[in-house]
């Protein structure tokens, strides 16, 4: 729905609410908010019914090798006692 149509629809409904409640002044913001809620609730189901595209699964980020700050080197463990 274009923005101008949306604004006009909210204004029309807010005006109808104002008239139904006896044209009492000072409640314009309440009428406007209620009209917004009515219009959004009409539009929301249409948006939810639109088919959603399946997203491709994301690959986990590649792990960067950590930088060792010490000078210790890895040593191989022997498979058994020395002969």
Burial (CB count <10 Å: 0-12, 13-18, 19+), residue 25 = exposed
Helix (H) or strand (E) holding 3: helix 3-20
- Could you read off the pLDDT of 17-75 as tens digits, one per residue? 999 999 989 999 999 999 999 999 988 766 556 566 667 677 777 776 666 555 555 66
- DSSP letters along 36-69, please? HHHHHHHHHHHHHHSPPPPPPPPPPPPPPPPPP-
By C-alpha distance, which of 28, 6, 4 is closest to 15? 28
- Residue 24's contacts (CB-CB under 8 Å, 6 or more residues apart) are 18
**Residue that has been written with the tokens 């959004």 in this structure:** 40
pTM: 0.51
Confidence (pLDDT) at 16: 95
């Amino acid at each position: 729905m274009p923005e101008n149509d949306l604004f006009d629809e909210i204004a029309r409904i807010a005006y109808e609410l104002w008239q139904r409640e006896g044209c009492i002044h000072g409640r314009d913001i309440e009428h406007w908010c209620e009209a917004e809620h009515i219009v959004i609730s009409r539009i929301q189901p249409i948006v939810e019914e639109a088919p959603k595209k399946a997203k491709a699964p994301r690959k986990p980020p590649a792990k960067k090798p950590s930088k060792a700050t010490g000078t210790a080197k890895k040593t191989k463990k022997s498979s058994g006692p020395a002969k």
